[in-house]
Structure 1
Amino acid sequence: MHAIARRRAVILIGSGVSANAATDAGIHPPTWGYFLENAHSKLNKSVSHIRDAIKRYNYLEACEYLKQEYAAGWPDLVRESFLTPNYKAAEIHHAIFDLDCRIVASLNFDKIYEGYALSASEGTIIVKNYYDDDVRQVVAGSDRYVIKPHGSIDTISKMIFTLEDYGRARVKYSTFYEILTALLHTHTFLCIGCGLSDPDMQLIFEDYKYKLSESPHFITLPSPVSEPQCGLIQKTRGLNVLKYSLKDQHKELTESLKELVAAVALKRDEIADLRSW
């Protein structure tokens, strides 16, 4: 809470946050795993190497195979899943915005969070993708940012969605990953709705943990998560697990974030009164 109150925190959001959004008809965005399973089923044939990759949670590999299968039809499939339905932001998006952190990093291709943030901030939020030349402003600047480590649905050709995409990005845009590392050193990360199988969640946090042997960052995970699992995540990723109940479609997570918003507001008032910025 102290890091958030002093705006020395980065909120990292994954597909679990987007899954709370919905269309007017009540349709929710797919998680990465569901999108791949659905894309596989739409092929109207069972492809063993795709099925096996999904079962192993190797989503980058599965996505690579699916992209090859769909060929020219791939961009349309992606748009139909993440853009065309016109998803509306949910309470959890509002709560994350209300935390008023200077930096929110979204691992999602959709534009649900930044769309809401741009509207709620009257256009004062700045959106930066991993490939932007001036992305270093996120560290050096004083504005509010949404950064997109995997790119956006706006530019499908630059979305990091496959093994090839990921490998190319880490070499060609290595400066961006250096920026993420700098933020890990100087800020506390709160990961919400993020899957531990995401390559960035693995490589970035594992690299940080093994270099510095510190565990200053946090991740929310739905119960049940055993204590040995929590210990292993902390030991290998430097992430402290904040558990919550799955009941009522993850309602406890949203309510907890609302409570955090109130607590942070009080802490900021206290900091202002004491002039201890």
Structure 2
Amino acid sequence: MNWDEFLQSLAGSLPTGDKRTAVEQCIGEGDLLTACEIARKALRPDVFKGELLRHFAEKRFKPAPIHKDIVGIDSRIVITTNFDKIYEMEANTMLHGDILVKNYYDSDLADTLRRQQRCVLKIHGTIDTPDKTIFTRTDYASARITHRHFYRALEALFMTHTFVFLGASMRDPDLRLILEDYAYRYGGTRPHFMVMPSGSPVPPVLEVLEESMNLRTICYDPALNHAELATGISELKNLVETERATLRNTLNW
């Protein structure tokens, strides 16, 4: 289930009236953060929490081959906006538990990043602690003030590493703020990369996003359930393995 479908389900759980109409209108306009804010306020806290768990924890989603290939690329630092556990569970299975998982509210993030262990940074929290997941405009604003140290660490990572975004949305306020700040504060630096379906967004909008966030996009055909993306990730994994073998032989680090 994707984000839109979850919000549609929340809207359906509301009684007919102004709040339900407002949620549906916000979803239609693509303002998903406001839609979630209204729905959460309209529902009792226990009901909203129950819906989260029902949709994202109790479904028992299984990893797809693309998850295995992403783990196989073996990046030491992985940042995810997802609060489900599909990737980290697959990573810990394949890598025998050698993954540290940190959330935006953890106080030992800096120590984790300076160690050699692989780590997953969950910038919106985890479904294991649904009360701390980031869903709404209020959540985003509160997290940026209360957990400033985490966002400073993210800024440092974006300066010192090149990231490839898979399945991320540029509607995410955290990513947009950090990337826009990075792009304008450090003009002329190397770009980050984003993989996205062709035509989403349309070329003029895409051009603005690339320039304002110092991104380079890699577009693919989303037909056949994003088969081209899965093939591309699998090929990338093979290229990474080949390059690692070359480094072992040449010692040219």
Which TM-score band (shorter chain)?
over 0.9
Q: CA deviation at 1:35?
A: 1.0
In the other structure, the counterpart of 2:2 is 31
Give me the whole-angstrom Cα distance separating, in 1, the residues matched to 2:99 and 2:164.
19
TM-score (norm: length of structure 2): 0.93
State yes or no: 1:51 paired with 2:34: no
Q: Distance in 1 between matches of 2:15 and 2:152?
A: 42
Alignment-derived partner of residue 168 in structure 1: 142
**Alignment TM-score, normalising by the size of structure 1:** 0.86
Percent identity, aligned pairs only, is 35
Secondary structure at the counterpart of residue 85 of structure 1:
coil
Partner of 2:204: 228
Match of residue 219, structure 2, among 225, 236, 243: 243
CA distance in 2, matches of 1:259, 1:271: 19
User: Over aligned residue pairs, what C-alpha RMSD do you find?
Assistant: 1.4
Matches within 5 A, 1:147-166: 147-166=121-140
Name 1:216's counterpart in structure 2.
191
Query: C-alpha separation between the residues in 2 aligned to 1:244 and 1:229?
Result: 17
Unaligned 5+ segments in structure 2 are none
Does structure 1 retain, via aligned residues, the 8 Å contact 2:7–2:27?
Answer: yes
1:83-108 alpha-carbon deviations (Å, 9 max, x no partner): 00101001111111000100111111
* Cα shift readout 1:223-243 (whole Å, capped 9, x = no counterpart): 125443332221011111100
The answer (yes or no) to whether the contact 2:11–2:23 under 8 Å persists in 1 is: yes
2:101 counterpart SS class = strand
Q: State the distance in 2 between where 1:230 and 1:160 align.
A: 26
The separation in 2 between residues aligned to 1:44 and 1:117, in whole angstroms, is 41
1:260 aligns with 2:226: no
The answer to whether the aligner puts 1:67 opposite 2:40 as a matched pair is yes
| SS of structure 1 residue aligned to 2:171 | coil
User: Retained in 1: the 8 A contact 2:140–2:174?
Assistant: no
Structure 2 residue identity aligned to 1:155: T
- Residue 266 (structure 1) shift: 0.8
Alignment CA distance shift 1:208-1:138 (3 Å):
farther
Partner of 1:271: 247
Q: Aligned partners of 2:78, 2:84: CA distance in 1, in Å? A: 14
Cα distance between partner residues in 2 of 1:161 and 1:265: 37
Q: Which residue number corresponds to residue 90 of structure 1? A: 64
1:112 aligns with 2:86: yes
Q: Distance in 2 between matches of 1:223 and 1:171?
A: 36
Corresponding residue pairs, total: 248
Per-residue deviation at 1:138?
A: 3.8
Give the superposition deviation at 1:52: 2.5
